[in-house]
A and B are shown apart, each in its own frame.
Chain A
Amino acid sequence: MPSKLSLKQLELIANDIREDIVHMLEVAGSGHSAGPLGLADIFTALYFDVLKHDPKNPDWRDRDILILSNGHCVPVRYAAMARAGYFDRKELLTLRQLGSRLQGHPERKRLPGLESTSGPLGCGLSQAAGIALAHKMDNILHRYIYVVMGDGETDEGNVWEAAMFAGDNHLSKIIAIIDRNNIQIDGPTEMVLPLEDYKAKWEAFGWHVLEIDGNNIEAVIDACAMAKAIVEKPVAIIAHTIPGKGVDFMEYDFHWHGMPPNVEQATKALQELRTLGGKIRSEHE
């Protein structure tokens, strides 16, 4: 990667990624809006600062691994990958279409750089544990395994099997970023199946837990750096995000979890994003 980007540059990229997401979903006519928009800052931080990766050599043997466990949020990953140079941005508009490499849920074999196939929830963390364990066996110490997962996703038992396993095996190269946006398809997480006391749960499973504002790019970058300093335990970063972040009429509304914008809604959303609406933090500093 080139030299570090400034916070303002990163925030502008996150905004571009949000525009791409809105446009992709509108053209696709189906897909999830809230999660990908809420995750734009985290994916910008990952692809443009945190991750050791090479868009021109996706299989680079020394790369960090990023597993997207909640596969329905993949539009944000596609948008970030295109911006980072993995493929041409024009391809973003093929999302969910027949023959596209950009499947509705990510399929590893179709697009270099995806690392895994996901969609059915709860399976990413254990795959990360398998990779981390293999690296540990082979004494590979310089590669980190990032997992992005949803909060609603942690209803799944497989997640806690993996959490117990990773804690027991001290898989400290795992950095799990949990998108704590408080919504899932049927409503707020605390009404569907309460997750709190969330931090205590992860700690009880042998994890070091950090809690951050997941829409603050600087906080995401700092938390990933802090996570690397924890050498005895895997680290969970509970990243509080605003679902639908950046588009006022989508923010906090769980109805946007599994819905794409129609043409009018997309136009309105894009107008809002393009004028920035005072949403770039560094502008105010």
Chain B
Amino acid sequence: MSNIALVDLNKEQVTREPIRKGFGRGLEKAGHVEPNVVAACADLTESTQMHLFKQSFPERFIEVGIAEQNLVTVASGLAAAGKIPFVSSYAAFSPGRNWEQIRTTICLNDRPVKIVGSHAGVSVGPDGATHQMLEDLALMRVLPNMVVIAPCDSIEAEKATLAMVSDPRPNYIRLAREETPVITTAETPFVIGAAQVFESGSDVTILATGTMTYHALLAADLLYKDGIEAEVIHVPTLKPLDETTIIKSLSKTRAAVTAEEAQINGGLGGAIAELAAEHCPVPLKRIGMRDRFGESGKPDELMVYFGLDAKHIRLAVHEVMQKKGN
């Protein structure tokens, strides 16, 4: 096991909590720490967990109505006047609908707006494809100046939210709706831009982000029984990517699998493929959505249906191990 303070999945009963709840707590704490923090929402205040901040700081909360273009452009103005605005909606709508406004008035304009995309991924469940945002990581990752963060659980989301307050750049943070196993602890380090080796190994590198990091850890346990020692790297910051940590691991293991609850095109899979191809080409298999939309269903059932689980990560590892051997 790693030296990073994680929950031991073999010994302890795993608790589950929606990642968005950690954001809600973090934002409320941020309100106490930094008076310039303000929050704006597009008619989804409780869903996105901004209600905690709103209760504590009603005079610093702004309701903009169902108007995501206005949400981010008003935020650009708030930031111009010295505020640190957090703006939330479902990821499908923000940054889904208002990408150009984010590009021009936040990224090119270089304003420290914090965009919070909740209910990302297929695990949104019954709402179906329209609300299962899978392209947000790709959309945000191509923007100059933008920082892209996908925490793996509610504890990390809380730390990430507080870290975003003091980051001077535009930030995007991706949150999930459903309860996600809590795998980090208060002691687990979080720094924007740093990938974390959650488990050390020498045979293969599994790079995971967001909700898939838990599944990557489960896969590593399965693989251990198969006689394969997998190194699990949690990549909470997709941009800027922690190239040093990742290349170091790929150079050691010479095989990689990525895992994300998003389109692999342009997501973590895309990012690792770009990095590896340029600096350290190794056999690579990408777990995630493969150029298709989601659909209605129960969250857990959908994760399995789309191959977003430990079993599929394990199979992918066996595939790259075979290629590595040839």
- A residues with a Cβ closer than 8 A to B are 65, 107-109, 115-120, 122-123, 126-135, 137-138, 157-158, 161-162, 164-165
Contacts and interface: CB of A to CB of B under 8 A. Distances in A.
A108 B64 CA distance: 25
A122 B59 CA distance: 27
Contacts of A115: 80
A133 B77 contact: yes
B100 A120 contact: yes
Interface in B103-138: 104-105, 108-110
B80 A127 contact: yes
Contact of A127 (B60, B83, B105): B105
B200 interface: no
Contacts of B82: 134
A116 B75 CA distance: 13
Given A130-B74, A162-B70, A116 B59 contact: no
Given A116-B80, A117-B108, A123-B73, 10 more contacts: A116-B76, A119-B104, A126-B74, A127-B80, A130-B78, A137-B38, A158-B69, A158-B70, A158-B101, A164-B65
A229 B108 CA distance: 35
A134 B84 CA distance: 10
A165 B67 contact: yes
Nearest to B68: A161
B67 A131 contact: no
B81 interface: yes
CB-based closest 7 A-B pairs: A130-B77, A134-B81, A126-B73, A161-B70, A127-B77, A161-B67, A130-B74
A165 B74 contact: yes
B79 interface: yes
A109 B108 CA distance: 8
A108 B78 contact: no
B74 A123 contact: no
Contact of B105 (A117, A133, A137, A157): A117
Contact of A131 (B80, B101, B108, B109): B80
B63 to A, nearest CB: 9
- Select the residue from A116, A134, A164 with max chain B CB neighbours within 10 A: A134
Contacts of B275: none
B193 to A, nearest CB: 22
DSSP majority for the A interface?
helix
A54 to B, nearest CB: 18
A131 B69 contact: no
Contacts of A127: 73-74, 76-77, 80, 105
Contact of B76 (A107, A130, A138, A157): A130
B80 A130 contact: yes
- Select the residue from B74, B104, B108, B110 with max chain A CB neighbours within 10 A: B74
Contacts of A164: 65, 67
A130 B75 contact: yes
Contact of A117 (B70, B85, B109): B109
Interface residues of B, number: 28
Given A126-B69, A126-B70, A126-B77, A134 B83 contact: yes
B108 A128 contact: no
B62 interface: yes
Given A126-B70, A127-B76, A130-B73, A165 B108 contact: no
B80 A133 contact: no
A120 B104 contact: yes
A165 B80 contact: no
- Select the residue from A129, A130, A137, A158 with max chain B CB neighbours within 10 A: A130
Contacts of A65: 80
A129 B78 CA distance: 8
B124 to A, nearest CB: 25
28 contacts: A108-B109, A109-B109, A116-B109, A118-B105, A120-B100, A120-B101, A122-B69, A123-B69, A126-B69, A127-B73, A127-B80, A127-B105, A128-B77, A129-B70, A129-B74, A130-B78, A130-B79, A133-B77, A134-B38, A134-B78, A134-B80, A137-B60, A138-B81, A161-B69, A161-B70, A162-B70, A164-B65, A165-B65
Contacts of B73: 123, 126-127, 130, 158, 162
A164 B82 CA distance: 24
B80 A123 contact: no
Nearest to B79: A130
Contacts of B67: 161, 164-165
A162 B214 CA distance: 41
B296 to A, nearest CB: 29
Contacts of A161: 64-65, 67, 69-70
A118 B104 contact: yes
Contacts of B78: 130-131, 133-134
A24 B197 CA distance: 56
A17 to B, nearest CB: 26
Contacts of B65: 161, 164-165
Contacts of A138: 81
Given A127-B73, A161-B67, A137 B59 contact: yes
Nearest to B72: A126
Contacts of B38: 134, 137
A165 B43 CA distance: 13
Contacts of B108: 107, 117
Given A123-B104, A161-B67, A165-B65, A133 B109 contact: no
Contact of A133 (B69, B74, B101, B110): B74
